[in-house]
């Protein structure tokens, strides 16, 4: 069972992008705290294909607890994210005003730093790049553009 964040109005439901997604019942103002990413600390060698995990350091991941999945495990990627790691911590904040009923998205490139990592992207954003790449494989100009929404270990 996925725990709903009733105090923030966040909930999971079927996404038009991929599987479950996270949505908001209430408006969220630009710059506001949205959700803290949580999980079980894992070394990168313990992360396996299909595991929901967020890289938070060169060899450290926050992985989903299968016995206690949380909403942050289901936030999908978009090439036009509406939340990001603005303070460098694994906490997502609104990058713009977010309307009630809107799905939350972050850019997976702002945490993953494994050379050669790449997956297809089907986010459907007008400027969708068609693929999601590792931060270290991005051109300097793109890393510079993303610098304000990446995790601390990438800054």
pLDDT along the chain (155 residues), means of 10: 65 91 96 96 94 96 92 96 98 98 97 96 94 97 96 98
What sign does the dihedral 79-85-88-89 (CA atoms) show? negative
Domains annotated on the chain, with CATH: 10-154 (2.170.270.10)
CA distance 29 to 38: 22
pLDDT (0 to 100) of residue 1: 46
pLDDT (0 to 100) of residue 3: 54
Cα-only R_g, the chain: 15
CA distance 17 to 32: 24
Neighbouring-strand partners of residue 54: 62
**Residue 118, CA distances (Å) to 53, 54, 101, 108 in order:** 15, 15, 30, 10
CA distance 136 to 111: 10
pTM: 0.93
pLDDT (0 to 100) of residue 8: 74
């Amino acid at each position: 069972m996925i725990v709903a964040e009733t105090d923030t109005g966040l909930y999971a439901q079927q996404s038009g992008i991929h599987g479950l997604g996270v949505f908001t019942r209430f408006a969220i103002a630009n710059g506001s705290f949205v959700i803290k990413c949580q999980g079980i600390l894992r070394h990168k060698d313990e992360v396996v294909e299909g595991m929901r995990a967020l890289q938070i350091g060169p060899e450290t991941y926050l992985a989903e607890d299968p016995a206690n999945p949380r909403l942050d495990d289901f936030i999908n990627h978009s090439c036009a994210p509406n939340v990001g790691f603005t303070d460098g911590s694994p906490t997502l904040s609104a990058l713009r005003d977010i309307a009630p009923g809107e799905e939350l998205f972050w850019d997976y490139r702002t945490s993953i730093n494994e050379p050669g990592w790449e997956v297809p992207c089907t986010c459907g954003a007008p400027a969708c790049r068609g693929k999601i790449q590792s931060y270290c494989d991005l051109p300097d100009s793109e890393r510079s553009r993303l610098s304000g929404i990446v995790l601390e270990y990438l800054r």
